[in-house]
């Protein structure tokens, strides 16, 4: 057998959500009478169906694939059809950010690009993550044996980590609105990160997967709303949370023309990587994604987002009522709160599952600073969300 990449053996054996699934299964086996009572507010998966305009567009795309004259084989570039890149570019324009269609690459969801983009950088680069963190950023760099350092998001800074100007790094991951903490950077805070990155010759990989949940006007929808970002940032976004695409699989990555390593454009190197290891997104899926950006599509998905935002408000109001400290709930589908009575994250997880049959995500699963904190998502049913909150209040 060839020598394994030993970095894999140092990873936690299970992805966080698999551990949670196992705990739920155990509970179900031991409590068959309580299975129907379980309310899932753990994994950040959406529950509302795909918008009708999107379904119609996927079906139209499928029909085109069935007719010789409109059949589509390999995409020339694998970077996405122009009609979709133009639609994404127009979407950015809608909140005042100019992105050329050629700076956009369509992908099968942010997770793949988030994980694979680091292939184009040397393993000697130092990675800066905020902690707590979406595990994918850490794991994909641990797989290459890269050194990872952390900036703490904690109660003191409202779970919005800021850079330590005395610490150097090469690649920074930021997620705003944040998974898991629901906090979101203001324009001013992002400017500080950009200045820090440029001083360090570092790049920022900016995960904007939750941008559609932003309501405050001083929270930017894109890092490219801030001066200087085009020289140091790559932005990744996804239709998973924006339009319920978790099972449909489509997202996009923006690499500005200005982003260069010496005189080599970063987008060219990433294109070379993708040219050898990716063949583009399914044509009917791209048709569906383009429909998200039509007037009809926007109207329909905004209705869904408003539904989740209302859930978030209901959860936040419950936190207020219970006197729990929390972040998120506003500008974000996540509510991140301090476990009551000094309980640990996993202890509280077990309590919620066993006593109230509510499933959340232990903050500890996202890192050191998540210890004693807990995440609930607003992506569930209204009725079940309300019922879960009643159980919390009455407990």
User: Using CB under 8 A, which residues numbered 132 to 161 contact a copy of itself?
Assistant: 135-136, 139-140, 143
Whole-angstrom distance, CA of residue 393 vs CA of residue 328? 19
By CB under 8 A, tell whether 65 contacts a copy of itself.
Answer: yes
**Which residue shows structure tokens 């219970």?**
322
Q: How far is the CB of 287 from a copy of itself (least distance, A)?
A: 10
Whole-angstrom distance, CA of residue 319 vs CA of residue 175? 24
Contact call for residues 130 and 167 (beta carbons, < 8 A): no
Residues in the chain: 395
Other C-beta atoms closer than 10 Å to the C-beta of 157 total: 14
Q: How far is the CB of 271 from a copy of itself (least distance, A)?
A: 9
Whole-angstrom distance, CA of residue 303 vs CA of residue 308? 9
By CB under 8 A, tell whether 383 contacts a copy of itself.
Answer: no
By CB under 8 A, tell whether 125 contacts a copy of itself.
Answer: yes
Q: How far is the CB of 40 from a copy of itself (least distance, A)?
A: 11
Contact call for residues 207 and 174 (beta carbons, < 8 A): yes
Whole-angstrom distance, CA of residue 24 vs CA of residue 255? 40
Distance of CA 226 to the CA centre of its chain: 20
Q: How far is the CB of 64 from a copy of itself (least distance, A)?
A: 9
Go through 345-376 and write b for each residue having 16 or more CB atoms within 10 A of its CB, e for each that does not.
bbebbebbbeebbbbbbbbbbbbebbebbbbb
User: Using CB under 8 A, which residues numbered 320 to 349 contact a copy of itself?
Assistant: none
Half-sphere exposure of 129 (CA within 13 A, CB side): 21
Return the range that interacts with a copy of itself (CB under 8 A); candidates 53-61, 88-96, 188-196, 290-298: 53-61
Go through 277-311 and write b for each residue having 16 or more CB atoms within 10 A of its CB, e for each that does not.
ebebbbbbbbbbbbbbbbeebbebbeebbeebbeb
User: Using CB under 8 A, which residues numbered 215 to 274 contact a copy of itself?
Assistant: 244, 246-250, 260-262, 264, 266, 269, 272-273
Q: How far is the CB of 393 from a copy of itself (least distance, A)?
A: 27
By CB under 8 A, tell whether 175 contacts a copy of itself.
Answer: no
Looking at the Cβ atoms of 22 and 100, the one nearer to a copy of itself is 22
Select the residue interacting with a copy of itself from 42, 109, 182, 329 (CB under 8 A): 109
Q: Which residues neighbour 80 within 8 Å (Cβ) at sequence distance 6 or greater?
A: 104, 105, 106, 107, 252, 280, 281, 286
Site string for a copy of itself, 267-286 (x = CB under 8 A): --x--xx-xxxxxxxxxxx-
Q: How far is the CB of 96 from a copy of itself (least distance, A)?
A: 27
Q: How far is the CB of 299 from a copy of itself (least distance, A)?
A: 16
Looking at the Cβ atoms of 90 and 275, the one nearer to a copy of itself is 275
User: Using CB under 8 A, which residues numbered 6 to 25 contact a copy of itself?
Assistant: 6, 8-9, 11, 13, 15, 18, 21
The helix (H) or strand (E) run that includes residue 127 is strand 127-131
By CB under 8 A, tell whether 203 contacts a copy of itself.
Answer: yes
Looking at the Cβ atoms of 285 and 335, the one nearer to a copy of itself is 285
Size of site (CB under 8 A) for a copy of itself: 88
Q: How far is the CB of 158 from a copy of itself (least distance, A)?
A: 28
């Amino acid at each position: 057998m060839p020598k394994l990449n030993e970095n894999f053996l140092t990873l936690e054996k299970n992805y966080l959500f698999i551990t949670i699934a196992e705990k739920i299964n155990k509970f179900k086996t031991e409590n068959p009478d309580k299975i129907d009572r379980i309310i899932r507010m753990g994994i950040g998966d959406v529950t509302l169906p795909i918008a009708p305009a999107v379904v119609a567009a996927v079906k139209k795309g499928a029909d085109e694939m069935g007719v010789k004259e409109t059949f589509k084989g390999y995409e020339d570039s694998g970077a996405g059809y122009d009609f979709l890149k133009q639609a994404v570019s127009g979407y950015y324009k809608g909140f005042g950010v100019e992105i050329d269609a050629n700076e956009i690459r369509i992908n099968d969801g942010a997770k793949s690009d988030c994980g694979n983009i680091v292939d184009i950088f040397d393993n000697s680069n130092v990675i800066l993550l905020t902690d707590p963190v979406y595990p994918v950023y850490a794991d994909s760099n641990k797989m290459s044996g890269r050194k990872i350092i952390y900036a703490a998001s904690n109660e003191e800074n409202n779970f919005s980590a800021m850079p330590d100007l005395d610490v150097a790094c090469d690649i920074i991951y930021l997620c705003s609105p944040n998974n898991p903490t629901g906090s979101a950077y203001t324009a001013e805070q992002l400017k500080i990160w950009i200045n820090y990155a440029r001083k360090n010759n570092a790049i920022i990989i900016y995960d904007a997967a939750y941008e559609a949940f932003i309501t405050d006007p001083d929270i930017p929808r894109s890092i490219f709303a801030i001066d200087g970002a085009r020289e140091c940032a790559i932005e990744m976004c996804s239709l998973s949370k924006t339009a319920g695409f978790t099972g449909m699989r489509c997202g996009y990555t923006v690499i500005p023309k200005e982003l260069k390593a010496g005189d080599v454009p970063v987008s060219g190197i990433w294109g070379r990587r993708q040219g050898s290891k990716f063949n583009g997104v399914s044509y009917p899926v791209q048709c569906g994604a383009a429909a998200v950006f039509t007037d009809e599509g926007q109207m329909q998905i905004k209705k869904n987002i408003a539904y989740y935002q209302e859930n978030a408000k209901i959860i936040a109001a419950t936190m207020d009522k219970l006197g729990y400290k929390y972040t998120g709930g506003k500008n974000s589908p996540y509510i991140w709160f301090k476990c009551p009575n000094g309980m640990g994250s996993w202890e509280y997880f077990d309590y919620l599952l066993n006593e109230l049959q509510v499933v959340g995500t232990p903050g500890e699963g996202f890192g050191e600073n998540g210890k004693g904190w807990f995440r609930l998502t607003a992506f569930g049913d209204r009725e079940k969300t309300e019922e879960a909150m009643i159980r919390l209040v009455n407990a």
